[in-house]
Structure 1
Amino acid sequence: MADDHGDKPMKADTNTLKPPQMGLKLVHLDLKGAPPKISYLTQILPLLSNLGANGILLEYEDMFPYEGNLQVLRSPNAYSPASIRELLNLARMLNFEIIPLVQTIGHMEFVLKHKIFSHLREVKYFPNSLNPHKKESMEIVKFMIDQIVALHKDLKWLHIGSDEVYYLGEGEESKKLFATSQTNADSLFLSHVKAVASYVLATYPDVKPIFWDDMLRNISEEKLQESMLSRFAQPMIWDYNSNIDTHNMMLLIQKYQRTGFSHLWFASAFKGATGVAQALTPIRYHLANQLQWLKVVEAVPRNSIQLRGIALTGWQRYDHFSVLCELLPVGIPSLAVCLQTLKNGRFSEKEENFVKSCLGFKAFKINSVSSEDAGSFPGSDVFNRVTQIITLQKSVDKLLEENMYIKGWFSNYHRKKKFVHPIMLRHFEGAVRSAHVNWERVVFELSTALEKIYYPDTVEEWKEEHVNPTLTRLQHFVQDMDKALASGT
């Protein structure tokens, strides 16, 4: 777990000032939830460059403008080809490496939820994993890859996903195959990823495939060697914990090395990894994660392994169907801290002052970033209002649940039976009305800030999850209070 040293900057174990040699520092933009308008992304790219990023891992999911028989995959707010080119042109001007990410077997909910493709599910009722036995499954994957590559010129890498392939091997076709041969789910996975990577290499010789490593971790070295997957794709090892087991991580890296993988990628997290419905980003936790990765980077034997880079993931949903995690503007301070830490190999007073300057903070504390000083970075007004909402929510809950007079004389039972002592309302009426007015003001300001960056469905979803329950609760409470005051009983 992240240690608790107040608000003092956390430092890596090494005192060297030499920047760590870790290749690209990619910022992951997860667009399968709360996708920002392109206008916002173009605002933050220069900031990310200034903070130390030199690449973007771009996970479009349903925000890509798929054509032809894939057009059904598009979100109603999907980016246009022209807007994507605008983003890519700016990225090139900043010398960013752009790596698109397209899922090709697991996390295929955005494809398999559609009736037209539901027959391609591994398990009939679960839209998460693709059935690798069907010829049409590979055709769909190829079509997605072709359309994405066509819009991204001069690609060097393509991330083909392949993480968390739940229920692989549990479909009817897989069970029949397993019953009549020596193959199993591991072989099925390796065969599919190898086929996808082979297609990329054969069709786009200058593009190297990358894939998430988690499905490899429990596969035997012998089976990995036999698959020869190392000739076709490069694994990205991910761990978002604040206390990585460095010893076990090095054993995993050595395993991959022995099975032929000479090029590796790492992945940390700057947000979206501490709770499925997390609203505020715990900066210290993610800082600790980066410091742990610095230890791993230091321990990697460079004579036999080449580290291509590290992706700072910023998950927006745990999967296509889950609720939203922290919004991107809310995670910007954490991202700034994480980037500076990976760039300089530590997070000291120097890095803290640089982050404070870049984000426009007068004061900056990684344990308790205040809504009273939200800085001046793009999206800071969203950061500010979200922080206010979460803080106010706690104060409203405390008022309505802990106030002695509300608990004793205006309980749910009292309100239901309209059995109220009017004089007792005077003890909390002012506080409740003030909370109600303040809540509605902040909600209006939040909506205004969100609408600048997000599409209406995102604004609606975030408010439905984090705003409306408390707002409705306050409104009903005030209505009951008004009725009790009007009746005089």
Structure 2
Amino acid sequence: MRRRLVHLDLKGAAPRAQYLEQVLPLLRTLGATGLLLEYEDTFPYTGSLELLQAPHAYSPVELRALLSRAREQGLDVVPLVQSFGHMEVYYLGEGEESQQWLQQEGNTPEKLYLSHIKAVATCLASSYPMVTPIVWDDMLRGMSEAALAESGVPQLVQPMIWDYAADIDVEGKVQLIEKYRRCGFSKVWFASAFKGATGVNQSLTLIGHHLRNQLEWLHVARRSPADVLEGIALTGWQRYDHFSVLCELLPVAIPSLAVCLQALKNGGYSEQVKENVENLLGMSNLEIDTYMSTCVGTFPGNTIFTLVTEVSFYLKSSVDELLERNRYVTGWFSPYHRRRKIIHPIIMHHFQPDAVSLLSKWNAVVQDLTVAMEQVFHSCAIEEWMEENVHPTLQKLQQVVDDLDEAIKAQN
């Protein structure tokens, strides 16, 4: 794996530029050789494209500084630009104009796709002859060798073969690489995942899954011709698409990224690799096969990692324990009692202190997490994460405490 690109998905919870600059030296130390930057609406578009810009988009000054910092660290930067590859291509051929084109003899959806890819790649080559486009291989996999070879596309682009599973079909991938070589592709890329691939609303990163994914890709690499593999991109999806909820925040996934990079750099995983990761992250013990690593590290964003872990593990479970499994709450302060402001004056003392204490504790944790997140994210990302992962449970607890106060006042 000569080239190891870390994918930064900026279409959700895009980190502040200052935070990314702090992370770059760590990525290089861990074994990254470059970045795959998916700007989406965070790019500082101007002119007619300015309407694509999000309110929290990076400024030209911030972006130049970030790219300069990447160069200083010896990191290549590959921009991931949304184009034909990831925009609704599965429905290709269903539009009216496409339907008319497909009715002509010899025309197929395969040819329609390949003709567009060829046109874009040819245009790019004429303006930037030293740049070779990389395309996700979703639509290429099932195409016939004849269609691919005849299109001329293999001479213009390099396919990125992606699979984020912990048990990928190694033999199938080896055969796919051989197929691409026969069609004329000179190089291929792999795409693994260090986060954002195990659940659309995942909040914690299961390191073991992503580690096994890297190890599977190493198996594929060992069974492939040495001259065909250009590199691997470790994807870190922030959303499954632009309109889905957030999955794991980047600081939460740094330990997973560290393990994955070190495994690829060292050609496998061992106790020595684990020790290297712990030393580089400043963590005394890193859990690989569970979500639970509560020890505090020294890497950028480690406070977010620690507090998000605490919230994800204990917030809902602790509130549910009080409100749904405490006999005094379920038996003497049920929804029926709460609506009518009925409370037994003796029973009340069995759970009111616990409810108030629990609310106070979680309010303090959430406040600490908010402060930590403000150093890394813009307010829109913090607001979204809190509404999805904190507010539903915390508001439920707050409402019970408020109802308890109302019932006591009514009784008095």
TM class, shorter-chain normalised? over 0.9
Task: Return the alpha-carbon distance in structure 2 between the equivalents of residues 410 and 184 of structure 1.
Answer: 66
Q: TM-score by structure 1 length?
A: 0.81
Secondary structure of 2:91's counterpart equals coil
Task: Return the alpha-carbon distance in structure 2 between the equivalents of residues 166 and 417 of structure 1.
Answer: 55
Partner residue in 2 for 1:448: 371
Partner residue in 2 for 1:85: 64
- 5 Å matches for 1:340-489? 340-368=262-290, 370=292, 372-393=294-315, 394-488=317-411
Partner residue in 2 for 1:15: none
Contact 1:371/1:385 (CA < 8 Å) preserved in 2? no
- 5 Å matches for 1:91-240? 91-108=70-87, 129=88, 165-240=89-164
Q: Which of the residues 11, 22, 28 maps onto 1:49?
A: 28
Partner residue in 2 for 1:338: 260
- 1:306 is the counterpart of 2:285: no
Q: TM-score by structure 2 length?
A: 0.96
Task: Return the alpha-carbon distance in structure 1 between the equivalents of residues 49 and 86 of structure 2.
Answer: 17
RMSD: 1.6
Secondary structure of 2:256's counterpart equals helix
Task: Give 1:372 shift.
Answer: 4.0
Task: Return the alpha-carbon distance in structure 2 between the equivalents of residues 64 and 75 of structure 1.
Answer: 8
Partner residue in 2 for 1:36: 15
Contact 1:371/1:388 (CA < 8 Å) preserved in 2? no
Point out where structure 1 has 5 or more consecutive residues left out of the alignment.
1-21, 109-128, 130-164
Task: Return the alpha-carbon distance in structure 1 between the equivalents of residues 164 and 292 of structure 2.
Answer: 25
Identity value in percent? 54
CA 1:181–1:413: 2 relative to 1, 3 Å: farther
Deviations 1:395-422 (A, max 9, x none): 2223222222222222223322434434
Contact 1:242/1:289 (CA < 8 Å) preserved in 2? yes
Deviations 1:232-272 (A, max 9, x none): 10001000000011111112112212211120100100000
Contact 2:205/2:291 (CA < 8 Å) preserved in 1? no
Contact 2:211/2:263 (CA < 8 Å) preserved in 1? yes
The number of residue pairs the alignment matches comes to: 411
Amino acid at match of 1:352: K
Q: Which of the residues 261, 265, 288 maps onto 2:189?
A: 265
Task: Return the alpha-carbon distance in structure 2 between the equivalents of residues 399 and 339 of structure 1.
Answer: 42
- 5 Å matches for 1:12-23? 22-23=1-2
Deviations 1:27-73 (A, max 9, x none): 00011111111100000000011111111011101111111111111
CA 1:225–1:415: 2 relative to 1, 3 Å: same
CA 1:481–1:301: 2 relative to 1, 3 Å: same
Secondary structure of 1:70's counterpart equals helix
Task: Return the alpha-carbon distance in structure 1 between the equivalents of residues 125 and 5 of structure 2.
Answer: 22
Secondary structure of 1:84's counterpart equals helix
Contact 2:294/2:309 (CA < 8 Å) preserved in 1? no
Q: Which of the residues 47, 63, 83 maps onto 1:68?
A: 47
Contact 1:269/1:286 (CA < 8 Å) preserved in 2? yes
CA 1:179–1:49: 2 relative to 1, 3 Å: same
CA 1:411–1:25: 2 relative to 1, 3 Å: same
Secondary structure of 1:421's counterpart equals coil
Amino acid at match of 2:84: I
Secondary structure of 1:358's counterpart equals helix
Task: Return the alpha-carbon distance in structure 2 between the equivalents of residues 361 and 100 of structure 1.
Answer: 32
Point out where structure 2 has 5 or more consecutive residues left out of the alignment.
none
Task: Give 1:486 shift.
Answer: 2.7
Task: Return the alpha-carbon distance in structure 1 between the equivalents of residues 149 and 340 of structure 2.
Answer: 73
Contact 1:59/1:101 (CA < 8 Å) preserved in 2? yes
Contact 1:385/1:442 (CA < 8 Å) preserved in 2? yes
Amino acid at match of 2:16: K
- 5 Å matches for 1:245-260? 245-260=169-184
